[in-house]
Amino acid sequence: MSNKTRLLLSIVIPLLVIVVVVGAFLWQQHLSSAGGGAGPAGTSTGTARSLTTVKLALDWTPNTNHTGIYVALAQGWYAQEGIRLEILPFSSNVSPDVLVSTGKADVGISSTEGVVTDAALGQPVISIAAIIQHNTSALVTLAKSGLKRPRDLDGKVYAAFGAPYETAVVSAIIKHDGGKGVFRSVTLDVDSMQALETGRVDFVWVFEGWEVIQAQRQGVQLNVFPVTRYGIPDYYTPTIITGPRQIKEEPDVLRRFMAATARGYEYARQHPREAAQMLLNTAPKGTFPDPGLVYASQEFLSPRYADPGRQWGWQDAAPWHGYPQFILDTGQIKNNAGQVVRTLNFDSLYTNVFLPH
């Protein structure tokens, strides 16, 4: 081998070694930034994983209907699933359904009534989980009012919240108890329970797991008429919703979101006090002036998130057919043209496919 060849090799070989080493390093960095090192169930194997932002629109200020979400946040389970959850503050000016259907939120909190109304208007959203397995809403009156049963509500004043189906549902409850179903509705700019306690209205429609417990803690005695005991089909309220676009374009993100969310609610089922504490700690400061209400409400709701032996979030066909048909039969649900909607494809209103199996 000539001296010239030896000189050339002494220069080229070290350069090749450097190129190979640098190339291997850069390739490893590429794998890390792409999240290629994520292990099973969202665990980390030492490489960085980029987070996907998911925007959640609440239906009200944080409360025990939302506990599983705040538990999953507090425990870091969304991050484990590669999600950075952004909870949008509740706004009385725009519903979660609108935020979801317009793409300003990826998921939201709604109800069967909302999903049905949206579908009728041609702005569909889809329920992907039932937060509570059975309806826990009720009409209530003050115990001292003497209005001891629904038929006593004929001719009385009701604090309405403005839904199209509302009057028909309340009327049906009264008729089921033998009344005429005739009452006067008023829409107020104050809290409905406050209006009840100050005598501005005679009865309101509330959730047993929050307003009724809150009244009890304040020494306000109520008569409580659960809606499903008076002829109203059982239905899901609240539910977690998403939109057709999100289902088409982000199915993996929705599955990961629901994996963390379901984990949060399953934990809350088994550990009500610890879950309530996580809600208190994680929600914005000042949300709960009475922490005792959160603990009491959580004790009420935790066993109601799902029936014994059933998976949290699972939705059956019967509630998505019975109650939706009931509110369509009222003739108050209309499309964008103002025409009464009598039928819908009820099976398109919900899905269980994003729940962990």
In percent, the amount of the chain with pLDDT more than 90 equals 82
pLDDT computed for residue 49 by the predictor: 66
Is the model more confident about 1 or about 267?
Answer: 267
d(CA 107, CA 109): 7
**SS3 of 154, please?**
coil
* pLDDT above 80 for 339: yes
Of the listed ranges 1-15, 46-60, 302-316, the least confidently predicted one is 1-15
Residues 72-126: tens digit of each pLDDT: 999 999 999 999 999 998 988 899 999 999 999 999 999 999 999 999 999 999 9
Residues 178-229: tens digit of each pLDDT: 999 999 999 988 899 999 999 999 999 999 999 999 999 999 999 999 999 9
Residues 157-187: tens digit of each pLDDT: 999 988 889 999 999 999 999 999 999 999 9
The residues facing 107 across adjacent strands are 56, 242
pLDDT computed for residue 189 by the predictor: 81
Number of neighbours of residue 146 by Cβ within 10 angstroms: 9
* Sign of the dihedral defined by the CA atoms of residues 295, 298, 300, 303, in that order: negative
Of the listed ranges 182-191, 245-254, 305-314, the least confidently predicted one is 182-191
Residues composing the chain? 357
Number of neighbours of residue 240 by Cβ within 10 angstroms: 27
pLDDT computed for residue 92 by the predictor: 85
* pLDDT above 60 for 59: yes
Average pLDDT, the chain: 89
* pLDDT above 90 for 48: no
The residues facing 184 across adjacent strands are 157
* Mean pLDDT in residue range 42-67: 79
* Sign of the dihedral defined by the CA atoms of residues 207, 210, 211, 213, in that order: positive
- pTM attached to this predicted model: 0.85
